[in-house]
Structure 1
Amino acid sequence: KENPDLDMGLHLTLTSEWSVYRWGPVAGRSVVPGLVDDEGYLWRNVMQVYQGVGGATDQIEQELQAQIDLARKQGLVPTHIDSHMGTLYYNGSYFKVVCNLALKNDIPFMVFKYRPELQGVHPALGYYTQEVADTLEAAGFPLLDMLIQEEQVGDTYEEGFANYSKVISELPVGVTLMILHLGIDSPEFKHITGRHWARDQQYRIFTDPKMKEHLEKENITLIGWRELKEAIWDKRDKSIKKVF
């Protein structure tokens, strides 16, 4: 609320993967019973979600809408939405649900230009064809050129810094989204994830003045979702209420 110009996305979540730090659905367990395990929390992995919910995409839609509604109730004005652990990408039916919700709620969902090699990344992405990408683009969704989600941390800070510097130096022309999990190491964080050190390393790398210098040297222009939203999404044909 104090910084309305900052990018602030909503990470739509259908899984609760940590061993002891867990959460349940926002919509309520009785409303979306297929989304919860025997302990009452969201499933631990993506395949369990698909098996638990099956084709009941109404439960998916109810939970996603509940998360959006709660965020807005708490004062958040999301610049974009995406998917925790990729759950909404690896199932064509779920993907269609969230794209339609994006239009309904006037929030762009993170999608990408079609590339043939996507089919080899995961067999479940077979539904994402050039026709699907064209449909989304025509509806005003900003399509990213490249996604970098592989963690590049090293055994040492210096190695991690070198790894990320190399990735940045080799970026192609276009709009690239790099997924980072930034965190400051702490006793509490150590009890949440065994990868606490990796998230701390990413935080230190990308707050290091030397990384800023490297970005400038490589002529990288940093933009956020707010710029994409204002340049593309906000200018879309508002009469399009549904894409699938």
Structure 2
Amino acid sequence: MRQSFLLLILLISFGVKAQNSELTYAEKLGYPKGKKVLIVHVDDVGMSYESNQGAIKAIKEGVATSLSVMMPCGWVPGFVHYLKENPETDAGLHLTMTSEWKDYRWGPLAGKNQVKGMVDSEGAMWRGVADVVKNASPDEVEKEIRAQLDRARTMGFTPTHLDSHMGTLFATPEFLQRYLKVGMEEKIPVMFPGGHNSVVQVQEKIIADQLAMTQMVGKQLWDAGLPVLDDLENSSYGWKGPESGDKSEKALQKYKTQKYIEAIKNIKPGLTMVIMHCTIHSEIFPKISDSFPTREGDFLAMIDPELRKYIEKEGIILTTWREAMQRRQKVK
């Protein structure tokens, strides 16, 4: 969500200044002072069989703790059937306003006639965020958000949180406001970095006034009774692979594990969501996307004993959106 998030910060203005707090949101939720508290989060569940299995195994066999589901996609039923058998899984909605791949595509759940500005010449959602911004109205975006939430509930899936595929809902202040609105109205936590944002400041190169705006949104969410992230680590999709060019699973796993360790070292105390995309290896997934090496690498890192060993050695706390919301409900 990097470019779109930066655009948001440059444009958004809620008319008031954020109030700095010495406490992190993690501390406000009752986590120990000075601790790094991570939601290790897998995006793009429901997109494919490989994505489902990668996310499930990353949580069951690895250190991942949370995931989110792309409700317009073809493998959603397969995952929801799993979820009903494993209701403890921390599963949110990866609110999907784009359909980016060439040969594998999906359309809006609200229906073409209801959200005409969200549909391209193939009857699918636009491939890129810029096209959604150009053609779709905030009303259409909100209709699609609610349609995706409605499908989840119809299937018996109660999401633990909301977040945004490709950062589309961070692309304009108007889209963001609809995203926040639905989360606050429905009392569903929303992914938004509204705390000290130490990593976000570096990755997005934001300045003090822009940081204050993100913190204001964080305060708005907190006051609405929702937990808030102190920070967001969202760089893993750009980690392409070993510089040596070694494409073996062993080399890819070692490379990705080390990259995650380096990223976690740079995270400051507080509640931080670490984003990734996990898929298992197959002959089919490369036909969907050429991103399979980085996605397979994420999966291999999550199940690497070396990453678990590092997390335990450093005393890092792993948590979920469900637990964060439960803690928020206890805070007056």
Q: What is the CA distance between 1:139 and its match in structure 2?
A: 1.2
Q: 1:105 to 1:236 in 2, by over 3 A?
A: farther
Query: Per-residue CA shift, 1:38-86, capped at 9, x if unaligned?
Result: 1111001111001011xx3211111110000001111211000100011
Which residues of structure 2 form unaligned runs of 5+? 1-83, 243-250
Which residue of structure 2 aligns with residue 170 of structure 1? 266
Cα distance in structure 2, aligned partners of 1:42 and 1:154: 30
What is the deviation of 1:113?
A: 1.6
Which of 5, 18, 21 is matched with 2:104 structurally? 21
Hey, what's the Cα distance between the residues in 2 that align with 1:129 and 1:209? 35
Aligned residue type for 1:141: L
SS in 2 for 1:87: helix
2:178 aligned with 1:97: yes
Deviation of 1:95 (Å): 0.9
- Any conservation in 1 of the 2:133–2:171 contact (CA below 8 Å)? no
Are residues 1:131 and 2:216 paired? Answer: yes
Residue 113 of structure 1 corresponds to: 194
Distance across 1 between alignment mates of 2:297 and 2:206: 27
Offset of residue 166 of structure 1 = 1.7
1:149 partnered with 2:234: yes
Kept in 2: contact 1:26–1:63 (CA 8 A):
yes
Shift of the 61–112 alpha-carbon distance from structure 1 to 2, 3 Å rule, reads: same
Three-state SS of the structure 1 residue aligned to 2:273 is strand
Distance 1:18 1:73 in 2: 27
Match of 1:199 in 2: 295
Q: 1-side partners of 2:271 and 2:234: how far apart?
A: 14
Partner of residue 308, structure 2: 212
Q: CA deviation at 1:228?
A: 0.7
Change (3 A) 1:34 1:236: farther
1 CA distance for matches of 2:267 and 2:195? 18
The farther-off stretch of 104-113 and 173-182 is 104-113
Q: Which runs of 5+ in 1 are unaligned?
A: 238-244
The one-letter amino acid of 1:81's match is L
User: Residue 140 of structure 1 aligns to which amino acid in structure 2?
Assistant: G
> Which residue of structure 2 aligns with residue 7 of structure 1?
90
Contact 2:278 2:296 in 1 (8 A): yes
- C-alpha distance in 1 between matches for 2:109 and 2:171: 22
Report how far residue 190 of structure 1 moved.
Answer: 0.8
Ranked by relative contact order (alpha carbons within 8 Å, sequence separation 6 or more), the top structure is: 2
- Following superposition, the deviation at residue 169 of structure 1 comes to 2.8
* Offset of residue 102 of structure 1: 1.1
Matches within 5 A, 1:46-65: 46-53=129-136, 56-65=137-146
Q: Is residue 227 of structure 1 aligned with residue 323 of structure 2?
A: yes
User: Measured at CA, do residues 127 and 21 of structure 1 come closer, stay the same or move farther in structure 2, by a change above 3 Å?
Assistant: farther
**1:25 CA displacement:** 0.2
Q: In 2, are the aligned partners of 1:92 and 1:127 still within 8 Å (CA)?
A: no
Structure 2 length-normalised TM = 0.65
* Aligned amino acid, residue 98 of structure 2: T
Q: Is the 8 A contact 2:99 2:124 kept in 1?
A: yes
Aligned residues: 232
CA distance in 1, matches of 2:113, 2:181: 24
Rounded to whole Å, the distance in 1 between the matches of 2:211 and 2:171 is 9
Taking a change above 3 Å as real, the CA distance of residues 61 and 235 of structure 1, as seen in their structure-2 partners, is farther
Aligned to 1:69: 150
**Gap change, CA 1:182 and 1:90, over 3 Å in 2:** same
Deviation for aligned residue 1:99: 1.1
Cα separation, partners in 2 of 1:225 and 1:22, compared to 1, 3 Å: same
C-alpha distance 153-160 of structure 1, shift in aligned 2 (>3 A): farther
Q: In 1, distance between residues paired with 2:173 and 2:331? A: 24
Residues 14-52 of structure 1, C-alpha deviations (whole Å, 9 max, x = no match): 000111111000010011000001111100111100101
What SS is found at the alignment partner of 1:180? strand
Secondary structure of the equivalent of 2:170?
coil
Relative to the length of structure 1, the TM-score reads 0.87
SS in 1 for 2:169: coil
CA distance in 2, matches of 1:167, 1:126: 21
Indicate conservation of the 8 Å contact 2:163/2:190, yes or no.
yes
Render the CA deviation track for 1:151-200: whole Å, top value 9, x for unaligned.
24532322222221222233211111100101102111111111101111
